[in-house]
Chain A
């Protein structure tokens, strides 16, 4: 259809203006170069976050502010989208995130202060469901997943089932929703996110010295990289694994991220590069005048921005050196 995508004209016009208010690299640098969490917040207060920062009781309450900011962004983008159902797909991730947090709190006693008030199911509903073991009111897929987790955990006592089951349900749902709505763009996004998760799982499983059977359980389907090929790599040396990806679009990321992981023993570099990779993919939204891409891109840009603010504030509160914070900061979308 010639004019079909112009239904996005209003929302893209609005996003273009909102994009100009995203934080830039320079702002992050200034926040990192301050001497404390309070000072970093002052730099943040010079931006659109002013009102939110003013309401903060103290620097340690920043999580609540960031959660509220993310929720506002989701509400705004869903509100202006001519096809809100397309954007709501992206909120599913937070249902699953919150369920993970709640299950871990229940089964492992990990404190659940990281619930994020974004998602298709109300937080209170999720909390009630997990605490009372009553999943009837959850959406069907989540209900099945939750029941499977409870059943498995009571028998095997293996907490990994929480992440494995929920991730699988999430990405099945994301891919099938994207296909239902006929969005090749969103399907491409989710397939790449699956690849990045699979790559990380592969290296982790390899480092833990676990076997082929285990990796089969962990890998998610529907990625661009065939799972058979990934499984076959489990018996290879890590060096030849890196070579195996040299022809794929993840070459640079694997090379730099995996090496750093092996040297330093932490995946934080790979995680940063993975986020940057997705930022790059979604960057196509910056140039499109019509269509859902700018909306999805802006939403991601805000998620990254909030992640960066959290990284800086946590780093400042814990007195990490500036360099350590800086190398984990994700690239800005703009």
Chain B
């Protein structure tokens, strides 16, 4: 396998795993919200906000994937011929957001779904429910930060 191919595996993992995490997370909240809205359609707006929260991991993964594609030259004029060690460096740089995106997306979904229950009982406390869910977001942001620093640190 060439270095470029290995780097592209990194891009695929970042987009794929973080995207799976978000899909599961958003899916859980969506089910929970649908249950609430069945009984109380007025809560649609508030629950939609909660459902969107676990969606960010997928965006972070895509961002990391884009940076790799750009560095490698898939987007742009000319594709670079990377060495195998360079390729592995890109793959490793993608791991933080890939793994943390997957796991935090699922857990953020669980917290947001719990917040749907909170909104059912106390709609005025939506803000607190959002804060709980955003606490999980912190770690996805940290992972994205690590991934970006690693990516920009690689000499090509």
Contacts and interface: CB of A to CB of B under 8 A. Distances in A.
A9 B31 contact: yes
Interface of A: 2-3, 6, 9-20, 80, 289-290
Given A13-B34, A289-B110, A289-B114, A18 B24 contact: no
Given A3-B24, A9-B32, A10-B34, A16 B110 contact: no
Q: On chain B, which size bracket covers the interface?
A: 20 to 34
B121 A13 contact: no
Contacts of A2: 106
B34 to A, nearest CB: 6
Nearest to A82: B31
24 contacts: A3-B28, A6-B28, A6-B31, A9-B31, A9-B35, A10-B31, A10-B34, A12-B35, A13-B31, A13-B33, A13-B35, A13-B117, A14-B35, A14-B36, A16-B35, A16-B36, A16-B121, A17-B36, A17-B120, A19-B121, A20-B121, A289-B110, A289-B117, A290-B110
A33 to B, nearest CB: 27
A265 B49 CA distance: 58
B24 A13 contact: no
A75 B106 CA distance: 31
Nearest to B107: A2
A10 B121 contact: no
B33 A6 contact: no
A290 B24 CA distance: 15
Contacts of A11: 35
Contacts of B29: 9
B116 interface: yes
A12 B113 CA distance: 9
B78 interface: no
Interface in B5-47: 24, 28-29, 31-36, 38-40, 43
B32 A13 contact: yes
B32 A20 contact: no
Contacts of B31: 6, 9-10, 13
Given A6-B28, A6-B113, A289-B110, A16 B120 contact: yes
Interface in B100-142: 106, 109-110, 113-114, 116-117, 120-121
Nearest to B114: A289
Contacts of B106: 2-3
B121 to A, nearest CB: 6
Contacts of B114: 289
B84 to A, nearest CB: 34
**A-B complex: 7 closest residue pairs judged by Cβ atoms:** A13-B35, A14-B35, A17-B39, A16-B120, A289-B114, A9-B31, A13-B32
B110 A17 contact: no
Given A20-B121, A80-B35, A13 B116 contact: yes
